[in-house]
């Protein structure tokens, strides 16, 4: 067993107090420490307070990282703790590295020896040291999510569990959820309905997965925390060593902790009983200076920093009760509120306060800024998702021309499916962007799969597309069968598609042969739908894609999965279906090849370079912890925010409201809220209603460029929100009891400046110069003011006669030179 021989084995004269970690009130100081410079009173108190437990409720942008690092530095500077007595836990390696560097910048090498790491990294160090007690080899492997899914795939295949709907994805998600609740296969089985075949099968999958990990001397990421908790509970002497060592434990983002992480913190902060302390002293582990009057070692001082209003990871097991019930769990807790915000303008903060105030079971706080009111929030109701994307693109260009760098702007959305329209418009408008924490829409595997079906119909000789869909979704067609089909085609000088039709000659077995023939027949039937002489008429792109998705089961399989990632994949494919419907409407005379050409041109557009960086596109969940000068929060509609899957779940609307709050508080200076009148959902174009959360923002904070009231059938006299007032006044969107504040009725218009370019072209040979006159399919005539960039990245800066200034990526813009 590890003895943890550390610098804290020192004579009492080197320690400032017999109980260095429990000093009630502020730590004594002979002089003002430079660490306190620039802190507001609440931050100062959080740095100086000494007691058994400290809860810092840190509002968005309130300087919590600075407080946490200065608190650590203060403990070391005052010699109340050795570096090795401090354990600081963060949620990401990036946050841990940043905290470590900040403390080192203050104290230099004096900070070496601290444990500043993630939950998982800390647990790995403990488990490798105590591997023998944990029943492991010190060289145990750590399985990532891919390793877990490969292992589960083999188990599911051996058990034929796929017949009951199990996939590596949904089995992995359920096992992870249980492990985060510190449940194992046996404890789950005790409460499971064992008369349900699905439950019986899951228990067997869970047991076999656990057995395979142990046999491989491996742990997965969830095991790292759970096994450490089990270790401490099963071996009190081991736990006592770490409770003695870590006298100050600090946890960042405490609102995001799950049950296993909470349990780990509890185990580390328990006191060491007198008999164990006596035994440790007798075996040479020095604890004399740490013992209290009872002879035991008091629990470590615990500092947690968090904000229940920013808890948005319930789907990962995060439990807001860990922070809301902290005072009950740790008696004698001191609570400090950090409400002064150093990031956003007051208008943005007032909106955030108003929204989050509708959640209950939270510590009430009001964020405020000393930096002034700032610009009003801009609201915009688009006619469609594409129109919304064009508004975002145009406003980005307005900000950029005013001097704001692209890197200081971000676009947020609730679901990945929303990126399709945004990406298309940004590409066509020559706005450099990057998708943060995700994949570009056309690069997503499920979109490539769906497009491969269309390509296989349009071009029967495309072997790459055929191979991609051969076993997608799973049909029991493995690599060996794929190779046999290719060899048969080559030997007989026929196409891969023809070899699929003739697969009965290969002796592959009835099940595999039927699967291949069924796919070949589906593709042949789809091809017939494009035949101009088809008596039923020629199918459009949307009808063809729907037929292929239904026949292949690609979409229904994703919809029926219990894996949350499959739910997102299904939404992406549904967005592709909606795109085909838009294409049919905008290009009634175009067919499948034209659609695939348009998609390939947009998808293949080179990433643009700009000296001021790129606009960041990301989901609201990804946005946590980031900040930007300007934020565009899109899709603020019922069904998206709150999301339809969460709206009817217990706690769902409150969590979605926290997500909205997080999005609002990422903005420093400018915030844009946008929604659409119509939105593609489940492959159909549906009327979209404004989010209930919009009504929670005071009307005087939002400047509606086009309000929900202006985009309805009532001539602008009433808002369209489902829960809006219907008394003739404007509810949350117009005036509150003031008819004069109602938005004006919209002017009759057949075209609008942000109309979406509906076509793309391959203009590889087109040369434009300053002064050239051009004609755009949608924007009309204009004059080229400037051409920038090189090769495929050439950008035309055009002043159009009717819609003003636009930027166009020359390579794909639907333009001609006059």
279 by Cβ neighbours in 10 Å (0-12 / 13-18 / 19+) ranks as middle
In Å, how far from its chain's centre is CA 361?
25
610-621: b (≥16 Cβ within 10 Å) or e: beeebbbbbbbb
Which residues make Cβ contacts (< 8 Å) with residue 628, sequence separation at least 6?
Answer: 408, 409, 410, 616, 666, 667, 668
The single-letter DSSP state of residue 747 is P
Report the DSSP pairing between strands 795-800 and 780-788. antiparallel
- Which one from 581, 666, 794, 811 is the annotated catalytic residue? 666
327's enclosing H/E stretch is helix 326-329
Of 8, 130, 252, 637, the catalytic one is 252
User: Catalytic one among 64, 243, 247, 569?
Assistant: 64
* Catalytic status, residue 794: no
Contact 673, 378 (CB under 8 A): yes
Q: Which of 65, 513, 597, 792 is catalytic?
A: 65
Distance between CA atoms of residues 665 and 348, nearest Å: 7
Residues in the chain: 818
Name the nearest CA neighbour of 311 among 296, 325, 291. 325
SS3 384: coil
Tokens of 532: 């101009």
CA–CA distance, 461 with 477 (Å, rounded to integer): 20
Joined tokens for residue 721: 């929100």
Quickly list DSSP for 665-719: TTEEEEEEEEEESEEEETTEEEE--B-GGGGGS-GGGEEEEE-GGGGSTTTTSS-
Which among 42, 151, 255, 310 is annotated as catalytic? 310
Annotated active-site residue 811? The verdict is no
Q: Which tokens is 623 given?
A: 């946005």
Check: CB of residue 769 under 8 Å from CB of residue 583.
no
80 has catalytic annotation: no
Is 181 part of the annotated catalytic residue set? no
H helices within 429-462, ranges in order?
A: 445-458
Measure the CA dihedral 113/116/122/128, to 10°. -30
772 included as an active-site residue: no
Continuous segment of H or E residues that includes residue 595: helix 592-603
Long-range contacts of 218-221 (CB under 8 A, 24+ apart): 218/140, 218/141, 218/142, 218/143, 218/147, 219/127, 219/136, 219/140, 219/141, 219/142, 219/143, 220/142, 220/143, 220/144, 220/147, 220/148, 220/179, 221/120, 221/142, 221/143, 221/144, 221/145
Tell me the CA distances in angstroms from 549 to 93, 442, 447, 518, one per residue in order: 41, 17, 12, 14
679 is catalytic: no
Catalytic site positions:
64-65, 252-253, 310, 666
């Amino acid at each position: 067993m590890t003895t943890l021989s550390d610098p804290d084995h020192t004579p009492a004269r080197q320690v400032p107090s017999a109980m260095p970690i429990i000093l009630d009130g502020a730590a004594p100081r002979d002089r003002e420490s430079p660490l306190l410079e620039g802190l507001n009173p609440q931050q100062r108190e959080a740095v100086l307070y000494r007691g058994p437990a400290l809860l810092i409720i840190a509002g968005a942008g309130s300087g919590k990282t600075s407080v946490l690092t200065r608190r650590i530095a203060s403990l070391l500077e005052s010699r109340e703790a050795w570096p090795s007595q401090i354990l600081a836990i963060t949620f990401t390696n990036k946050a841990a590295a940043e905290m470590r560097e900040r403390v080192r910048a203050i104290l230099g090498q004096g900070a070496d020896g601290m444990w500043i790491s993630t939950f998982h990294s800390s647990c790995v160090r403990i488990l490798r040291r105590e591997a023998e007690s944990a029943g492991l080899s010190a060289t145990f492997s750590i399985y990532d999510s891919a390793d877990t899914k490969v292992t589960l795939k083999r188990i599911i295949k051996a058990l034929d569990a796929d017949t009951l709907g199990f996939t590596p994805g949904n089995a992995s998600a359920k096992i992870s959820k249980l492990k985060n609740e510190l449940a194992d296969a046996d404890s789950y089985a005790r409460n499971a309905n064992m008369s349900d075949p699905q439950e019986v099968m899951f228990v067997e999958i869970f047991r076999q997965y656990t057995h395979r990990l142990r046999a491989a001397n491996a742990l997965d990421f969830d095991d790292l925390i759970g096994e450490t908790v089990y270790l401490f509970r099963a071996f009190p002497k081991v736990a006592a060593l770490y409770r003695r060592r870590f006298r100050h434990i600090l946890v960042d983002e405490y609102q995001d902790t799950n049950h296993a992480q909470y349990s780990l913190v509890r185990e580390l902060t328990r006191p060491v009983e007198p008999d164990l302390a006596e035994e440790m002293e007798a075996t040479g582990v020095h604890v004399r200076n740490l013992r209290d009057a009872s002879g035991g070692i008091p629990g470590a001082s615990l500092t947690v920093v968090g904000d229940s209003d920013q808890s948005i990871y319930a789907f990962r097991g995060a439990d807001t009760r860990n922070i809301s019930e902290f005072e009950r769990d740790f008696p004698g807790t001191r609570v400090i509120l950090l409400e002064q915000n150093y990031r956003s303008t007051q208008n943005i903060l007032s909106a955030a306060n108003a929204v989050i105030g509708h959640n209950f079971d939270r510590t009430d706080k009001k964020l405020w800024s000393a930096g002034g009111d700032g610009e009003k929030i801009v609201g915009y109701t688009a006619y469609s998702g594409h129109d919304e994307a064009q508004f975002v693109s145009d406003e980005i260009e307005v900000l950029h021309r005013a001097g704001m760098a692209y890197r200081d702007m971000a676009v947020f959305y609730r679901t990945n499916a929303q990126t399709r329209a945004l990406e298309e418009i940004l590409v066509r408008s020559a706005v450099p962007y990057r998708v943060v924490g995700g994949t570009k829409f056309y690069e997503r595997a499920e979109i490539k799969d769906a497009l491969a079906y269309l390509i296989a119909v349009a071009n029967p000789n495309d072997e790459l597309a055929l191979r991609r869909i051969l076993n997608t979704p799973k049909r029991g067609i493995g690599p060996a069968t794929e190779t046999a089909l290719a060899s048969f085609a080559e030997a007989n000088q026929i196409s891969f598609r023809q070899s699929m039709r003739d697969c009965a000659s290969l002796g592959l077995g009835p099940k595999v042969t039927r699967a291949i023939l069924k796919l070949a027949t589906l593709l042949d039937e789809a091809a017939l739908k494009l035949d101009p002489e088809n008596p039923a008429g020629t199918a459009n792109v949307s009808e063809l894609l729907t037929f292929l998705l239904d026949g292949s089961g690609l979409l229904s399989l994703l919809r029926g999965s219990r894996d949350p990632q499959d739910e997102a994949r299904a939404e992406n494919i549904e967005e592709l279906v909606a795109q085909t419907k838009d294409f049919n409407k905008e290009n009634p005379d175009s067919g499948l090849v034209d659609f695939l050409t348009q998609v390939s041109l947009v998808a293949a557009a080179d990433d643009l370079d700009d000296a001021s960086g790129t606009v960041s596109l990301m989901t609201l969940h990804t946005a946590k912890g980031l900040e930007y000068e300007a934020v565009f929060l899109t899709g603020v509609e019922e069904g998206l925010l709150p999301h339809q899957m969460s709206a009817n779940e217990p706690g769902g609307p409150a969590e979605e409201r926290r997500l909205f709050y997080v999005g609002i508080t990422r903005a420093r200076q400018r915030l844009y809220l946008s929604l659409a009148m119509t939105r593609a959902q489940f492959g159909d174009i549906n009327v979209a209603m404004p989010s209930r959360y919009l009504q929670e923002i005071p009307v005087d904070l939002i400047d509606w460029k086009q309000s929900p009231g202006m985009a309805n059938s009532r001539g602008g006299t009433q808002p369209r929100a489902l829960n809006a007032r219907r008394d003739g006044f404007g509810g949350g969107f117009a005036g509150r009891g003031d008819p004069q504040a109602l938005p004006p009725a919209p002017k009759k218009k057949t075209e609008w400046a942000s109309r979406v370019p509906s076509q793309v072209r391959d203009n590889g040979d087109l040369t434009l110069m300053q002064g050239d006159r051009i004609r755009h399919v949608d924007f009309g005539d204009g004059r080229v003011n400037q051409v920038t960039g090189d090769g495929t990245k050439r950008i035309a800066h055009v002043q159009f006669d009717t819609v003003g200034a636009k930027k166009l990526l020359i390579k794909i813009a639907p333009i001609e030179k006059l």
